A and B are shown apart, each in its own frame.
Chain A
Amino acid sequence: MLRSRITPCLLVHKNGLVKTVGFKDPKYVGDPINAVKIFNEKQVDELIVLDIDASVQGRGPDFELIRKLALECRMPLCYGGGVTTVEEAKKIISLGAEKVAISSAAIKNFELLSEIGKAVGIQSVVVVLDIKKTGFLGSYEIYIHNGKKATGIKVKDFVPRLAKIGIGELVINSIDGDGTMRGYDFSLVDMVRDLTEFPITILGGAGSLEDIKSAIKRYKIIGAAAGSLFVFRGKYRAVLINYPNILEKKELYR
């Protein structure tokens, strides 16, 4: 049986790993390479690594880092941050990542998705949408540049366009949920899921394995991603990489 994916998501900022709250206040949690090595040894389903500086600084992906990280991954690696061209996407795949995440570039240049899909295979194209609830009615809006820039584009208008071209995976990243560990925003997920047939990964808000369990229960097959949950422990937010072992995972799939 196909199982839901339980996916740690790591953020790269100034060469180090950080964890944010509401896309703000990055807390340093260590060096990416050793963290990825530990996650690999914990046999995580897959891993997402996002460089949160690249787009903001207007620079391309850090290929040397991607090469080093891919070398430590015996599970699929999805890399995002600063990808704006087909060539960059191709290079990322050739360095050993399985998936390329496109975020702000997908908003600015929608055609890019299909072009990259042609070059590396559409199943390797992952779109990451940073989403915030806005306005009186609380409609979901897409933000770019680490949640700093509103695009004015509604999620419900954008997702059908993705559904039309068909992508490998969509990561729904809730800015409101980021780092809060208060649980996923299921109403957002419900809405997006209704509009799509491709795999969805939800990110932002997971605070316990129970949160992941309830997502799996609700959607049967889903990608449940988390940052804080797999990096922090306890009330002092101690940095200690963790991930459910095989037995704990079986419990989550039940």
Chain B
Amino acid sequence: MIAIVNYGSGNIRAIANIYERLTLPHKIVSQPGELIGSEKIILPGVGAFDETISLLSHSGFRTVLDNEVLINKTPVLGICVGMQILGEQSEEGSLPGLGWIKGTVRKIDTNRIQSKPKIPHLGWNSIKALKANGMFNDVDEEQGFYFMHSFYFECNDENDVMSSTFYGTDFASAVNHQNIYGVQFHPEKSHENGITLLKNFAAI
């Protein structure tokens, strides 16, 4: 059972919809207790960093999540801001992140981008898979995914970078540390590639 955490942020319906079509068992989880014992966890998120992490904290999911992810080693996938909050802190806000993956969320440096538009990074961009963990199996890397963000995840340990994408410079478009996964792009809105990635995560 894949649990999609409903703490008031992110496009939960779209993710559930894809698993529905794939006929993979999943549920939208709104009560922390329901999370216990799930095989996979998806942590969506849109909006600002502080707003998102406070929503998560106030939802009561924090303790259960920490337990499931850090102790039981349940695979978790953070999407967009759901990925950014996996880090320790963000230049966008002042609150600390979950700190599950060592790194800082930084604002895209517009000085590095040669031509307009500069920010946000918006549209379909390619990815380069850097880890053979199965997440990008059958993904068309050139076609890539849909991005929509102004901040990006900077990993302390470059081994945690799961894929890189070029926007002015190469940045981590996906991260992975042990059972913790995060993608900056929107798999739930990236047609076939997105479906493939969500299917791959389910199979991990």
> In this complex, what residue of A is CB-closest to B192?
A43
> In this complex, what residue of B is CB-closest to A2?
B125
Residue-by-residue, is A115-143 near B (CB-CB < 8 Å gives 1, otherwise 0)?
00011111110000000000000000000
Partner pick for A45 among B47, B118, B124, B126, CB 8 A cutoff: B124
In the complex, the answer to whether B120 meets A123 with C-beta atoms within 8 Å is yes
**For residue B123, which residues in chain A have a CB less than 8 angstroms away from its CB?**
2-5, 45-46, 199, 221, 223
Tell me, in angstroms, the Cα distance from A121 to B92 when the chains sit together.
11
Q: Which of A1-36 contact B (CB under 8 A)?
A: 1-5
Tell me, in angstroms, the Cα distance from A107 to B110 when the chains sit together.
28
The reply to whether the CB of B149 lies closer than 8 angstroms to some CB of chain A is yes
Q: Which of A210-234 contact B (CB under 8 A)?
A: 219-221, 223
Residue-by-residue, is B166-186 near A (CB-CB < 8 Å gives 1, otherwise 0)?
110000000000000000001
> In this complex, what residue of A is CB-closest to B125?
A2
Tell me, in angstroms, the Cα distance from A223 to B122 when the chains sit together.
10
**For residue A60, which residues in chain B have a CB less than 8 angstroms away from its CB?**
none
In the complex, the answer to whether B47 meets A119 with C-beta atoms within 8 Å is yes
The reply to whether the CB of A98 lies closer than 8 angstroms to some CB of chain B is yes
Asked if A196 meets B117 with Cβ closer than 8 Å, knowing A71-B13, A75-B190, A168-B148, the reply is yes
> In this complex, what residue of B is CB-closest to A76?
B189
> In this complex, what residue of A is CB-closest to B147?
A2
In the complex, the answer to whether B119 meets A166 with C-beta atoms within 8 Å is yes
In the complex, the answer to whether B195 meets A74 with C-beta atoms within 8 Å is yes
In the complex, the answer to whether B148 meets A98 with C-beta atoms within 8 Å is yes
Most buried by A among B121, B188, B189: B189
Residue-by-residue, is A59-98 near B (CB-CB < 8 Å gives 1, otherwise 0)?
0000000000011011110000000000000000101101
B106 CB to closest chain A CB (Å) equals: 15
In the complex, the answer to whether A76 meets B146 with C-beta atoms within 8 Å is yes
Tell me, in angstroms, the Cα distance from A166 to B108 when the chains sit together.
14
> In this complex, what residue of B is CB-closest to A97?
B11
A225 CB to closest chain B CB (Å) equals: 12
Partner pick for A197 among B18, B119, B166, B190, CB 8 A cutoff: B119
The reply to whether the CB of A200 lies closer than 8 angstroms to some CB of chain B is yes
In the complex, the answer to whether B120 meets A74 with C-beta atoms within 8 Å is no
Asked if A2 meets B120 with Cβ closer than 8 Å, knowing A74-B188, A75-B190, the reply is no
In the complex, the answer to whether A3 meets B117 with C-beta atoms within 8 Å is no
In the complex, the answer to whether A124 meets B124 with C-beta atoms within 8 Å is no
The reply to whether the CB of B48 lies closer than 8 angstroms to some CB of chain A is yes
The reply to whether the CB of A145 lies closer than 8 angstroms to some CB of chain B is no
**For residue B191, which residues in chain A have a CB less than 8 angstroms away from its CB?**
43, 74-75
Partner pick for A74 among B166, B167, B189, CB 8 A cutoff: B189
The reply to whether the CB of A154 lies closer than 8 angstroms to some CB of chain B is no
Asked if A71 meets B17 with Cβ closer than 8 Å, knowing A1-B125, A93-B46, the reply is yes
The reply to whether the CB of B14 lies closer than 8 angstroms to some CB of chain A is yes
Tell me, in angstroms, the Cα distance from A71 to B14 when the chains sit together.
7
The 3 closest A-B pairs by CB, nearest first: A121-B47, A199-B117, A123-B120
- New A-B pairs, 8, CB < 8 Å, besides A198-B119, A221-B116: A45-B123, A46-B146, A74-B18, A121-B81, A168-B122, A197-B118, A199-B117, A223-B122
